[in-house]
């Protein structure tokens, strides 16, 4: 059980630099992710400000392209992934009754690689030639022709990749070796399951990205021609290798979100999760399918018909396990004794809005239709519905859900609800019109556009600013809860189930030094 007397640790900066404690490292990851969300968000607002009107107003096209590239890299590798790793660090040991992560020193290193990686990435904006500007996908030949910023980006990606792989190894080693006696795999909370599967995806996908960017580097500086058609190479090969990483990456960004949602909805519906085992198998199926759908990102490169058909049908198949999940969340709520605290509101919004993103994904999966949608704002709308109202909403929901456990204080519910409604309105205003822009043919990653797209772009920009600034309410709610407020009980929520709710709030520095016994 919980032990409150083992909480001596270095104070001040040394605590955070040298910590091997899963809760400290979890906090570091979450704070880092929050900072990155604001940096990446500021970049998004630069993009939206420029697109408020047709013509070039605020930034030059080169800088605009850097913003689109860096916004994606910062949000994916600096925001969403570290946020989920923060949750993993805090929650996995608490949920499986382990005293800490299996490899605490490695855990420290995994985190501390990140600030250096992102300093390097962001520093590209300060060097001659500016930041990388060929898109986060780093397609050659643009990325081969880029300035030194591209080299710095490649090194930064290597560091992020090492951090992710080490983190994944730690998660797998923890879950496979540190579960409390009696906690069989099919007794694990769903968040733990989704992270176990995510960790395997990370382990299989990140080395492929490392291979791809290493080839880019050698093409740039060591005379190789992997992707240079003039030298016998093939730029399309980069796209294949990149998306072999890139599609599992999409699921790396969403599976832990499924896990968080699967913890929150049963809590506030006061019912056990409907179809627990089918959720586990659906998650595993999604993970498997994620490795055989990559070329749907590149239907227009000119593939054999059989390839187009294979990737079209395999992509559509993902809708089946995803549908199982959405059905199970709905069935969990069905006839539940529901209340609508902030985490639940964000989770319900997650289910509804993520499903919209899923449906637009199905539209994009249809190869002949994709020829029309490719590289338009429809794609931008699609993946923001999946990644913002999907991944980011679940992260926010998870923070509100577990914040009382982490800090020992309840957050301000009124502030949380304001945050929710402004976020939902701002988000939909920002991204729903982008579907129409895309269907009408507005291309992505271009700082200027034809006059007829003006109105929807203006709506989108207003929504983006509303969404962006409403996140300050989130910071206010978190800071308030960290500093004080109503004391949280051990079992913060009436319907909460699981080992993390058996320890006091805030969770003591060391927990489960003696493993609990699971019946």
Measured distance CA(84)–CA(33) in Å, rounded: 9
Size of the site for another protein (CB under 8 A): 33
Contacts of 510 (CB under 8 A, 6+ apart): 3, 6, 7, 21, 99, 100
Residue 229 interacts with another protein (CB under 8 A)?
no
Q: Name the phi and psi angles at 374, rounded to 5.
A: -45, 130
Catalytic residue among 220, 296, 382, 435: 296
Stretch that binds another protein, among 164-172, 265-273, 384-392, 455-463 (CB under 8 A): 164-172
Exposed e or buried b per residue across 102-129, where buried means at least 16 C-beta atoms within 10 angstroms of its C-beta: bbbeebbebbbbbeebbebbbebeeeee
Instruction: Give residues 103-132 in contact with another protein (rule: CB under 8 A).
Output: 103, 106
Does 163 qualify as catalytic in the annotation? Answer: yes
Query: What are the helix and strand counts (H, E) for the chain?
Result: 19, 0
* Interface with another protein (CB under 8 A), residue from 168, 188, 364, 492: 168
**Closer to another protein by Cβ: residue 204 or 326:** 204
The minimum distance between CB 207 and another protein, in angstroms, equals 4
Told to check if 513 binds another protein by CB under 8 A, we report: yes
**Residues 150, 163, 360, 461: which is the catalytic one?**
163
**Minimum CB separation from another protein for residue 515, in Å?**
10
322 has catalytic annotation = yes
Of residues 193 through 222, those in contact with another protein by CB under 8 A are: 203-204, 206-208, 210-212, 214-215
Instruction: Give the CA count within 13 Å in the CB-facing half-sphere of 441.
Output: 3
Nearer to another protein, 414 or 514 (CB): 514
Smallest gap from residue 122 Cβ to another protein (A): 26
Q: For residues 176 and 450, which CB has a smaller minimum distance to another protein in the complex?
A: 176
Interaction of residue 178 with another protein, rule CB under 8 A: yes
Residue 197: C-alpha distances to residues 191, 278, 450 (Å): 10, 14, 44
Q: Is 297 noted as a catalytic residue in this protein? A: yes
The Cα 416–Cα 351 span in angstroms is 19
Instruction: Name the residue nearer to another protein (CB basis): 100 or 370.
Output: 100
Distance, CA of 61 to CA of 63 (rounded, Å): 5
d(CA 352, CA 110) in angstroms, rounded, equals 34
3-state secondary structure of 510: strand
**Does the active-site annotation cover 24?**
no
CB of 517 to another protein, least distance (A): 16
Stretch of 44-52, 108-116, 161-169, 377-385 contacting another protein, by CB under 8 A: 161-169
CA nearest to 333, candidates 259, 411, 403, 275: 275
251 catalytic, yes or no?
yes
- Give the nearest distance from C-beta 100 to another protein in angstroms: 6
437-to-365, 372, 459, 497 alpha-carbon distances in Å:
19, 12, 11, 44
Q: Check if 271 is active-site.
A: no
Residue 17, judged by CB atoms within 10 A of its CB (0-12, 13-18, 19+), counts as exposed
176 vs 320 by CB, closer to another protein: 176
The verdict on 247 binding another protein (CB under 8 A) reads no
Yes or no: say if 505 and 405 are a contact pair by the CB < 8 Å rule. Answer: yes
At closest approach, how far in Å is the CB of 372 from another protein? 32
CA angle, 170 then 173 then 178, to 5°: 115
Under rule CB under 8 A, residue 176 binds another protein: yes
HSE toward the beta carbon, residue 275, CA cutoff 13 A: 19
The only residue of 81, 165, 252, 287 in contact with another protein, by rule CB under 8 A = 165
Q: Is 100 a catalytic residue?
A: yes
Give Cβ neighbours of residue 5 (< 8 Å, ≥ 6 apart).
Answer: none
Q: For residue 184, report the phi and psi dihedrals to the nearest 5 degrees.
A: -75, 165
- Residue 262 catalytic? yes
Examine residue 99 and tell whether it contacts another protein (CB under 8 A): yes
CB 252 within 8 Å of CB 202: yes
Nearer to another protein, 206 or 365 (CB): 206
Would you count residue 226 as binding another protein (CB under 8 A)?
yes
* Closer to another protein by Cβ: residue 96 or 206: 206
The footprint of another protein (CB under 8 A) covers: 5-6, 8, 99-100, 102-103, 106, 165, 168-170, 172-173, 176-178, 203-204, 206-208, 210-212, 214-215, 226, 237, 241, 510, 513-514
Instruction: Give the active site residues.
Output: 71, 100, 136, 163-164, 247, 249, 251, 262, 296-297, 322, 325, 444
């Amino acid at each position: 059980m919980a032990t409150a007397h083992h909480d001596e640790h270095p104070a001040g900066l040394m605590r955070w630099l040298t910590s091997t404690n899963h809760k400290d490292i979890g906090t570091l990851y979450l704070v880092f992710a929050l900072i990155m969300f604001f940096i990446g968000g500021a970049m998004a607002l630069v993009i939206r400000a420029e697109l408020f009107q047709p013509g070039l107003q605020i930034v030059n096209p080169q800088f605009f392209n850097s913003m689109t590239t860096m916004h994606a890299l910062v949000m994916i590798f600096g925001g969403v992934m570290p946020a989920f790793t923060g949750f993993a660090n805090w929650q996995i040991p608490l949920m499986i009754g382990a005293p800490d992560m299996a490899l605490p020193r490695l855990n420290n290193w995994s985190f501390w690689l990140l600030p250096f990686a992102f300093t390097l990435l962001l520093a590209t904006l300060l060097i001659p030639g500016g930041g990388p500007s060929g898109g986060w996908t780093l397609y050659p030949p643009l990325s081969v022709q880029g300035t030194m910023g591209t080299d710095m980006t490649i090194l930064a990606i290597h560091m992020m990749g090492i951090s992710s792989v080490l983190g994944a190894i730690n998660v797998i080693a923890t879950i496979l070796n540190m579960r409390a006696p009696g906690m069989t795999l099919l007794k694990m909370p769903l968040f733990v399951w989704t992270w176990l599967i995510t960790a395997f995806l990370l382990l299989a996908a990140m080395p492929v990205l490392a291979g791809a960017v290493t080839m880019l580097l050698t093409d740039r500086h060591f005379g190789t021609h992997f992707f240079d058609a003039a030298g016998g190479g093939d730029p399309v090969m980069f796209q294949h290798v990149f998306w072999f990483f890139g599609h599992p990456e999409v699921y790396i960004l969403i599976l832990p979100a499924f896990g968080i949602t699967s913890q929150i909805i049963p809590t506030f519906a006061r019912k056990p999760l409907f179809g627990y085992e089918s959720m586990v198998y659906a998650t595993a199926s999604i993970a498997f399918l994620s490795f055989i759908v990559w070329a749907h990102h590149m239907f227009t490169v000119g593939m054999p018909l059989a390839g187009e058909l294979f990737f079209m049908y395999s992509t559509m198949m993902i809708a089946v396990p995803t549908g199982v999940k959405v059905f199970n969340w709905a069935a969990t709520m069905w006839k539940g004794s529901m209340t609508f605290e902030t985490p639940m509101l964000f989770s319900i919004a997650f289910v509804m809005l993520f499903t919209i993103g899923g449906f637009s994904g199905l539209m994009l999966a249809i190869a002949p239709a994709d020829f029309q949608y490719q590289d338009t704002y429809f794609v931008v709308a699609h993946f923001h519905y999946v990644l913002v109202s999907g991944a980011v909403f679940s992260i926010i929901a998870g923070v509100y859900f577990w914040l009382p456990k982490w800090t020992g204080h309840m957050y301000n519910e009124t502030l949380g609800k304001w945050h929710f409604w402004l976020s939902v309105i701002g988000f939909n205003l920002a991204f729903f019109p982008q579907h129409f822009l895309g269907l009408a043919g507005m291309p992505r990653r271009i700082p200027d556009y034809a006059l007829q797209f003006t109105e929807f772009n203006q709506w989108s920009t207003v929504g983006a600013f509303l969404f962006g600034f409403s996140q300050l309410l989130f910071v206010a709610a978190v800071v308030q809860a960290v500093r004080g407020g109503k004391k949280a009980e051990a079992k913060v929520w009436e319907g909460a189930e699981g080992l993390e709710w058996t320890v006091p709030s805030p969770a003591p520095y060391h927990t489960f030094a003696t493993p609990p016994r699971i019946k």
